[in-house]
Amino acid sequence: MLVGVLSQIVEFRNGESGLHVQHIRVLTEKILDHLLEKTSDYKISAEDQDNIPLASALHDIGKITIDENILNKPGRLTKEEFEVIKTHCMQGANMLRRLENFEDEPLLQTAYDIARWHHERWDGRGYPDGLKGNDIPISAQIVSLADVYDALTSERCYKKAFSHETAMRMILNGECGAFNPLLLECLTDIQAELQKKL
């Protein structure tokens, strides 16, 4: 309940329809389920399986600290503005860590990992910490891919929506970052299902 309220506040401030958080949750759940069918390489408990899609709703919680003129700017951000936007990862992680029951609440710890590291890249060229490969928590890797897919296929104040086909081509060609090859396989495998669900 509270997670939903907080995520909708971010959506409202971010000038988005409110569907973004729902889409991220569905995408995260589907990619995660398929990953677990494909491999047992990742230590993902039943609790994690519930918590990761739920915590995905808070991936952009740090954006409530970003100036609205930058957050909702139509058109390209300047280098300086982009540096400001990038701070939302640490801002969100710090907010979550400061919550009273953080130490006892696995959901908040998962939300922390996702908020902090969902802009890291498989090749180590992401932010804020430049983590590489599986040094990035799998929860953040999954939400990162879900976030990019939804951003591409949704209309934003600065762009029109791309078709599913165009979005998939851009992601698989590496035009939108570098992702875990296994997660790209998962996304490819479930694409027909995603088109029905979203």
Place of tokens 């296929």: 153
Mark whether 43 is an active-site residue: no
Catalytically annotated residue among 30, 63, 159, 197: 63
Are the C-beta atoms of 184 and 33 separated by less than 8 Å? no
190 burial type by CB count under 10 A (0-12 exposed, 13-18 middle, 19+ buried): middle
**Residue 68: CB atoms within 10 Å:** 11
The two tokens of residue 92 are: 């969100």
The residues assigned a catalytic role are 63
